[in-house]
Structure formats: structure tokens, C-alpha cells
Amino acid sequence: MFRAGYILTPRQDLFWFLSLPFLAVAVALASQQWLAAVVMTTVGVWVTMPHQFASWLRTYGIPEERRMWSDRLYVAPLLIFLTSLAGFSVAPITTALLVILWDYQHSIMQQHGFIRIYDFRGKTGAPSTGWFDLILGWVLFCNMLITSPMFMWPLVRELYRLRIPVTAEAVQIVMNISWTVCGLYLLVYVGHVIWSLKNGYQINPIKYVFIGSSYFLWYFCAWHTSNVLIWGIAHRIMHGAQYMVMVYWYLRRTTQTQQTESRFAATLVKPGFVVAFLLMGLFYSFVVQVLTGGQLGVFIFGWKQYPTLYEAIPALGLDAMTSGEGYAFTTNALLNTLGMTHYYFDSFIWKVRDRRIHGGLT
């Protein structure tokens, strides 16, 4: 019935993929208690930007894969940059919201990718399991967006700002529908697991522990407070650290098992060179800071005004949004914008069904 499989090793998976979400939540809670909201920007510099460097190294570091993806690696980044520049010039708030939504989609797909690797490494699951896992991720994440205070109340504020009043009863109905859909799909998902076992397919229990730990972080942060600070720090630590670990080991396996032409990537992931790998990520962060002058406004293409603070909504018991909360949301959108090309690359370079990348996963 059960067959354990690990992305790395049992010990490394225990830390990086199963325990890290809880550690990230603890760090975020400590930051809220003792540090100012600007700490989110610091987390972005020290975690998010190095993880973007890992994405560039993964995408461009192996000549064989550069030839595989061809124009997608050169034309798309230019188009994304120009579109982002135009969006922040014409409709900055709307663009920021769209970028945040893309970041959420990217987060769902990264965790789903790890889930698929767990089944790939354990040789578990039915042919249809991947689709059930994908829908589970979307249902759980969307339910969190719809029902949690941290995400629902800013949406309500935005509707009021657009002069579209929403009653407390309407909000409650939407939440009830979301919880119902979520509950029903969880029953369907459990039914699929039972069906898989009855039809002779084994399951990987480590995969389900990973799903639980990941969604614990997201759900806990979304309900613990309406301040996006906790969410931003915990999510970025988990997301960024797990991605860098995955890239490091993927490149090491690839360069060791294949006759690759890439000396730079192969050198950074050689045994004993992990410090060099991390230092290159920090150097990338430093370069970004220098090129932008280290100013938050420059990061967002000259848009230096934060979104207008939301007024109180007495009918729903909502106080006015503070400047600190507004700063946190704006910074969150900023950091997401810098990673749009990374989101695009990850949409196709990690496909487990693509046999050309199996060498780095085995």
C-alpha cells in the first residue's frame, strides 16, 4: 500500500520540505513581534532574489537545455518586461494585483511540482493522480483566498473603493459556498486515494505530509492576522529556500550524470561548493540593489506613491487600513513583479512528464 520516496534524502527532506514551513512561520511571528514592516523587503533581498538567481542558473546554465527551449528563453523576458513597464505606468494598482495573482498561481504550481516529484521518485500513484493533486492545490489555495481575513477583507475594501458595496450577508454566503466546495472535493480526493489502493497503485505517505505542512503555513498565516507581513515572510522563506535547494540538487545530478558543456553551473554545484552557490545568489541581490539605487520607488519603475489608504467600513466592522499595512501590500507586489520572468520559466522547465529532465530528478 505504501512506498516512501524522497526528493533528496529522508534527512534532507525532513528539514527542507517537511519542517521548514513550521520554522518559517516561527520566523515570521518573531518578525512581527520585534521588527518593522520593512523586514519584508529584507527577506525579499536575502531570500527571494537569490532564488531568482537560482532560476536563471537553472534556465540558462545548461547549454543543452538552452537549445531545447530556444526562443522562449530570449523573446519572452523582453515582452514580459515591456508589458510590466507599460502596466505600472498606466494602471499600477491593477498591474500589482495581477502580478500578485500570478505569484499565487506560481506558488501553487511549485508545490504541485514537488508533489509530482514525490510520486515520480517513489513510483507511486495512478496515471490520473497528478490531475487530482493539481485540482486539490487549486481548491485549497482558492478557498484560503476567499475565506481568510487576510485576503477577503482587502478585496471587500477594494470593492467599496470602486463604489461596489458588499453586504456582510453576501460575504458570508460566498465563504460558505467556498467551504462547501472545498469539503466536497476533499471527499472526492480521499475517494481517489482509496480507489488507487484498491486498483493496486501504491501511495507515497511522504507526499501527503508535504502537502499538509505546506498548506499549514498558508492557512495559518492567512488566519492568524490580517497583516500580510507574516504571510509574506513565511511564504518567501519556504518558497525561496525550497526552490534553491531543488535547483542545486537538480543541477548537481544533471552535471554529474550527463556530459554537459556548462562549466559555470557545474562548478557552482560541485560537492563542497555550496557556499559559492549561495554567494552568487547574494551577489545577484547586491547587483540588483546597485542597479536600482536601493530605492523602493525605482523598483516599481518610478511609481513612488503607495496605494490610497482604505477607509473604515463600519457596516462590516473593518477599521481603516494603516500605512504599515499598505506598505506591506505594496512591497509584496513589488517583489512579485521582479520575479515574473521566473514565473514564466518555471511554467515549462520543470515538467516531470518531460523525459528530457528526468536525469536531474533521479
Q: What is the pLDDT of residue 149?
A: 85
Q: What is the pLDDT of residue 305?
A: 46
Q: Are 304 and 63 in contact (CB under 8 A)?
A: no
- 113 domain residue, yes or no: yes
Q: What is the pLDDT of residue 351?
A: 75
Q: What is the extent of the structural domain holding 128?
A: 10-347
- 253 domain residue, yes or no: yes
- 174 domain residue, yes or no: yes
In this predicted structure, the answer to whether residue 342 has a pLDDT above a threshold of 70 is: yes
- Of 104-118, 158-172, 248-262, 324-338, the range with the lowest mean pLDDT is 324-338
Domain count, the chain: 1
Residue 282: Cβ-neighbour burial (10 angstroms; 0-12, 13-18, 19+): middle
Q: What is the pLDDT of residue 230?
A: 84
* b/e code 64-102 from CB counts within 10 Å (16+ = b): ebeeeeeeebeeebeebeeebeebbeeebbebbbbbbeb
d(CA 36, CA 21): 22
- 362 domain residue, yes or no: no
In this predicted structure, the answer to whether residue 299 has a pLDDT above a threshold of 50 is: no
- 26 domain residue, yes or no: yes
d(CA 216, CA 24): 11
State which amino acid sits at residue 323: S
- 313 domain residue, yes or no: yes
- 38 domain residue, yes or no: yes
pLDDT band at 273 (very low <50, low <70, confident <90, very high): confident
Query: What are the distances in angstroms from CA 290 to CA 71, 278, 283, 298, 339?
Result: 29, 19, 10, 11, 18
- Does an H or E element contain 122, and which? helix 92-122
Residue 176: Cβ-neighbour burial (10 angstroms; 0-12, 13-18, 19+): exposed
- 93 domain residue, yes or no: yes
- The predicted-structure confidence for 58-88, as pLDDT tens digits, reads as follows 888 877 777 777 778 888 877 887 777 677 6
3-state secondary structure of 211: helix
pTM recorded for the entire structure: 0.82
